[in-house]
Structure 1
Amino acid sequence: MSRIVIIGGGPAGYEAALVAAQLDAEVTLVEETGAGGACVLSDCVPSKSFIASSTVRTAMLDATQLGVNASSITVDAQLVHDRVKMLALQQSGDICNKLVKVGVEYITGRAWLSGETSGFSHTVRVRPLDGEVYDMDADVVLLATGATPRILPTARPDGERVLSWRQVYDLEELPERLIVVGSGVTGAEFASAYQAMGVDVTLVSSRDHVLPHEDPDAARVIESVFRDRGMTVLPNARAERVTNTGEGVTAELADGRVIEASHALMTVGSIPNTADLGLDAAGVRLNDWGFIETDRVSRTNVPGIYAAGDVTGTQMLASVAAMQGRIAIWHALGEPVKPLQLKTVAANVFTDPELATVGATQDDVDTGRVPARAVMLPLEGNARAKMSGFSDGFVKVFCRPASGLVVGGVVVAPKASELILPISLAIQHHLTVEQLAQTVTIYPSLSGSLAEAARQLMQHEFE
């Protein structure tokens, strides 16, 4: 029986453990914070639960145009934060119970590579939360330790007024005025959520627009919505220092401007959790950005040692982490496995409206990396959107010029994370725009715009 030790219990780690148990391996998972790791306890699950509350308030405020008067809506920060924490703990408990039920040995504590090997076996050193350090031999080791918020020396989160995204749920009240430093996915999501909850938000972007790594048409729509709803967006502005003044915060920008608020939220990226893992001793190689280097089946350069999830820096999404973990175990145990394919992975930005993407991007098409034609349809012409009272958003579909194969798509809409699925399915199963266009959609529905975009691309195909 193969002996597998997994270090880290986030999506990569716990999904890998479930696969290993299913394949009758002897599995030990070591996690320091709790089953589900930071994803469940402090990052993805809490933030999306928080955003869910903000989305409800936005929907109620926007209901006036539908004839529903909901002008007086307040947010109880303590109840919101308590719910966020409760859901995170419940999810963590569910994951732990599932792991134990299938026979995974779950250890709360820390683990690292000792650097000692014997043939194809590696030694893992374990320090349980309550107990002495001991060694375990493993045929396969999976490193799935995730990442942690990047900290700027001149803007260190203190948990009181200068905050990381893991500290916001400990506030007793919502900020009166909030500076969000960083306009990537995390910054945009929290800026959107806090604005929806009635907070005066200033978003500091070091680039010339928000969400600089997303589809440019989509980013423009999201930024326009932010501004229309009253958010202050500062483009080409780099925060050099953020200071807790006791009564509030000041943010000093590189161009000399100083802005003030009650709180600041730092969202300036993540760094991999590679410290104290014994990587040097084991000879595990890192890439130029400090992430563990892996191939498409999650192997490191050291036989028998795999890595998965955010610690590898490969499209830092929970869904990708989980797939990397599964692939690692399938490969390690000799099961048939397809290498990781990112072109079929959908990603979503949980702003309001949401932004979902999959496959080829506008930049791929513009630079010629992917030959494709595109059609973009604004939602303002969609009957369901009109009935629901929103017009900010669009659907965009990319297809091959000759064959009509669907190769990518973008959706900006409420629940875009659900609406992107038909495009993902088309890419995964090599469907053409003709096949997508001939699929009967419900009327009225937002998905009708996807079929309409496909019909327009099909018309171009025969021109």
Structure 2
Amino acid sequence: MAVHNYDVVVIGTGPAGESAAINAAKHGKRVAVIEKQSHVGGNCTHWGTIPSKALRHQVRQIMSFNTNSMFRDIGEPRWFSFPKVRERSRVTIDQQVVMRTNFYARNRIDLYQGIARFKDEHTLVVRGSADKQDELVAEQIVIATGSRPYRPADIDFRHPRIYCSDTILGLQHSPRTLIIFGAGVIGCEYASIFSGLGLKVDLINNRDSLLSFLDDEISDALSYHLRKHGVLIRHNEEYERVEGTDNGVTVHLKSGKRLRADAFLWANGRTGNTDELGLENIGLKANGRGQLQVDEHYRTEIPHIVAAGDVIGWPSLASAAYDQGLNACNKLLESDFRYVTEVPTGIYTIPEISSFGRTERELTEAQVPYEVGHAFFKDTARAQITGDTVGMLKILFDQESLEIYGIHCFGDQASEIVHIGQAIMQQEGAANTLKYFVNTTFNYPTMAEAYRVAAQNGLNRVFQR
């Protein structure tokens, strides 16, 4: 067994692992990364963020073609098989893999492919293909192994019609009906994608509303538009059993309902990838969801071993994971450090959702007086030009100081638009007020102009008192 010595070893090449490794390398450290899969990029690139968003883009193009009267001169509305649509999205994945592989090469980071397991607190054994093994000894170790879908033992995921959010990308047929269990971010995104392809979708939610962490008005808008596209949402339901047959799946709910569809997608919860790390060899223990506990510096109970990304739980976003990996490594390197707490929400349903800051419910419960400013996209010139008139921008702000408390956006480009508000909210003192949007000249016509409209709408409410 070959033994190699490094300053920093990173386990995992998703956003957290990549940012930690490159950060360490740019600080002159000798760095190695370990990747279980045959290509770098982690779950984000191969099964999560990138493929689902690329798939969503293809579906939006199909929906635009099928609903825009201008295209009737070209031909009638078209039906596209899921495998064909999915295959087109693979182009993006391949581009991402090439780009990220080059990152490691340019920064002279050694890449080991195989399963990493702790031998002791400073040593990792990497078992690759053909029983090849390497032993990596490091002063500091970053655990960035990500997560995978939680799969209950009483559901047969080997059945060809039963999928989780990873395996659904390998769907080889084009079902007409689909049941999705779990109405979190992943479940809602896939409900949008499949309903956009013309499937009848049952979305089963074990809570009483969709995405309760969102502002209530935004959650209501999402529910409305999912239903508009043919999604039947069933709240407060739990499954009793899932039964696969030769040509479909029957879901038995505890309420007594029986639902049948061509395919079933489980999208309820995720588990940290820690079970193969040999944590027992170093005295670390993951929680019941496979996640590692860290302090405000991303350190585990062993100070020279840090963890970042989905493997530590909240917020389980690729954007946050990248920042967490960067800052976890900064702590190891004794550089400027930031614990990532303020993270914008980006949900790629159709239409998409993004928010930053507090919601109306949170402000009301905290007894904080506030006012609301709205801009509806149907009234903006850019949205009228593009035809993407669904949605709105909503600003919550203090009635007296005009300090901004929250930005909530629903509609086309929401995840891009929110960053303008985020930047202003993170300014100090008087710079973080509604007046910025009124006193700033925005390009016209743009979606960003919605900030000026929403700000003026909010000020009108204040001045009317």
Provide TM-score, normalisation by structure 2: 0.91
Q: 1:314 to 1:68 in 2, by over 3 A?
A: farther
Do the aligned partners of 1:426 and 1:436 also contact (CA within 8 Å) in 2? Answer: no
Q: Does 1:26 align with 2:27?
A: no
* Pairs aligned (count): 456
> Which residue of 1 is the match for residue 8 of structure 2?
4
> Which residue of 1 is the match for residue 328 of structure 2?
328
Query: Aligned letter for 1:176?
Result: R
- Shifted more, 359-368 versus 31-40: the winner is 359-368
> Which residue of 2 is the match for residue 47 of structure 1?
52
- Residues 356-378 of structure 1: per-residue CA shift (max 9 Å, x gap): 11122233212117664332333
> Which residue of 1 is the match for residue 62 of structure 2?
57
Q: 1:369 to 1:395 in 2, by over 3 A?
A: same
> Which residue of 1 is the match for residue 273 of structure 2?
273
Q: Kindly state the Cα deviation for residue 186 of structure 1 after the two structures are TM-superposed.
A: 0.5
> Which residue of 1 is the match for residue 379 of structure 2?
381
Q: Kindly state the Cα deviation for residue 82 of structure 1 after the two structures are TM-superposed.
A: 2.0
> Which residue of 1 is the match for residue 439 of structure 2?
438
Query: Aligned letter for 1:17?
Result: A
- Residues 158-190 of structure 1: per-residue CA shift (max 9 Å, x gap): 262011122223223321111111111101111
Q: Distance in 2 between matches of 1:421 and 1:183?
A: 26
Do the aligned partners of 1:360 and 1:370 also contact (CA within 8 Å) in 2? Answer: no
Do the aligned partners of 1:406 and 1:427 also contact (CA within 8 Å) in 2? Answer: yes
Q: Distance in 1 between matches of 2:261 and 2:200?
A: 9
- Shifted more, 164-173 versus 268-277: the winner is 164-173
From 90, 94, 99, the equivalent of 1:89 is: 94
> Which residue of 2 is the match for residue 226 of structure 1?
226
Q: Kindly state the Cα deviation for residue 349 of structure 1 after the two structures are TM-superposed.
A: 1.0
Q: Kindly state the Cα deviation for residue 89 of structure 1 after the two structures are TM-superposed.
A: 3.1
> Which residue of 2 is the match for residue 147 of structure 1?
147
Do the aligned partners of 2:397 and 2:405 also contact (CA within 8 Å) in 1? Answer: yes
> Which residue of 1 is the match for residue 250 of structure 2?
250
- Residues 204-231 of structure 1: per-residue CA shift (max 9 Å, x gap): 1222233333222111111111212222
CA RMSD of aligned residues (A): 2.3
> Which residue of 2 is the match for residue 78 of structure 1?
83
> Which residue of 2 is the match for residue 412 of structure 1?
410
Q: Does 1:101 align with 2:95?
A: no
> Which residue of 2 is the match for residue 361 of structure 1?
359
Sequence identity (%): 27
Do the aligned partners of 1:353 and 1:414 also contact (CA within 8 Å) in 2? Answer: yes
- Shifted more, 66-75 versus 7-16: the winner is 66-75
Query: Aligned letter for 2:21?
Result: A
Q: Provide the secondary structure at the position in 2 that maps to 1:420.
A: helix
Do the aligned partners of 2:237 and 2:253 also contact (CA within 8 Å) in 1? Answer: yes
Q: Provide the secondary structure at the position in 1 that maps to 2:221.
A: helix
Q: 1:126 to 1:89 in 2, by over 3 A?
A: same
Q: Provide the secondary structure at the position in 2 that maps to 1:447.
A: coil
> Which residue of 1 is the match for residue 194 of structure 2?
194
Query: Aligned letter for 1:338?
Result: R
Q: Provide the secondary structure at the position in 1 that maps to 2:114.
A: strand
Q: Distance in 2 between matches of 1:140 and 1:159?
A: 42
Q: Distance in 2 between matches of 1:459 and 1:429?
A: 24
> Which residue of 2 is the match for residue 167 of structure 1?
167
Q: Distance in 1 between matches of 2:368 and 2:357?
A: 10
- Residues 342-367 of structure 1: per-residue CA shift (max 9 Å, x gap): 22x21211111111111222332121
Q: Distance in 1 between matches of 2:10 and 2:281?
A: 18
Q: Kindly state the Cα deviation for residue 414 of structure 1 after the two structures are TM-superposed.
A: 1.0
Q: Distance in 2 between matches of 1:54 and 1:339?
A: 37
- Residues 108-164 of structure 1: per-residue CA shift (max 9 Å, x gap): 0111222x34xxxx2222222345334322111000011110112232322620111
> Which residue of 1 is the match for residue 457 of structure 2?
456
Q: Distance in 2 between matches of 1:413 and 1:185?
A: 16
Q: Distance in 1 between matches of 2:459 and 2:301?
A: 46
- Residues 316-365 of structure 1: per-residue CA shift (max 9 Å, x gap): 1001101111101111011122232x22x212111111111112223321
Which stretches in structure 1 are left out of the alignment for 5+ residues?
A: none
Provide TM-score, normalisation by structure 1: 0.92
Q: Does 1:14 align with 2:18?
A: yes
Q: Kindly state the Cα deviation for residue 281 of structure 1 after the two structures are TM-superposed.
A: 2.8
Query: Aligned letter for 2:419?
Result: L
Do the aligned partners of 2:178 and 2:200 also contact (CA within 8 Å) in 1? Answer: yes
Q: Does 1:180 align with 2:185?
A: no
Q: Distance in 2 between matches of 1:7 and 1:369?
A: 45
